[in-house]
Structure 1
Amino acid sequence: MRLRLQLTGWDRRTLTLTDTPRPDCPRCGGEGGHACDYGDHEGEYAGTEWNSCTCWDETRRWTLLPLPRMPRRRRADRDPWSNEPPF
């Protein structure tokens, strides 16, 4: 198991410990899987399918620390109704 720290979440940011692909894997070359493009019945591009490699479990993660929300600082010296630029 090869672990790394990752920052996840948009509304509630969290520090997590995640598994990474094996860098010397002969099947995927350290990529974690293969991307396969496919087309529709007319031969046009319809999307990409991801086939995960067995050297990596992308669902294996542990939450270490939920990060606090940092409040935005407001500048008290600026008039919000002014038409002048802030510089």
Structure 2
Amino acid sequence: MNRNVFSIDDLKQILLDGAGEPEGPGVEAATVDLDFQDLGYDSLAILETCTRIEREFGVALGEEVLGEARTPRALVEVVNNHLSVADPA
């Protein structure tokens, strides 16, 4: 996995590893703009996901991410913004 870029595929794998199969449709190309709750993930699953992202990608997301990044696309963008600040190569 490239640790300088966080992708939808990275998010899907981390969600699967941490939260298991969702109650809803899950993260797919057609669902990246739907709320995590609509995709079958509760706030605890997203908290676990953020913790795993922080550990695996070496970024500090902070609690505000939970409120701001309500969709897969938004979370990927936030993580990539943190990665670009952490590694301004």
TM-score by length of 2: 0.22
Structure showing greater relative contact order (alpha-carbon pairs closer than 8 Å, 6 or more residues apart)? 2
Which of the pair is proportionally richer in strand? Answer: 1
CA radius of gyration, larger in: 1
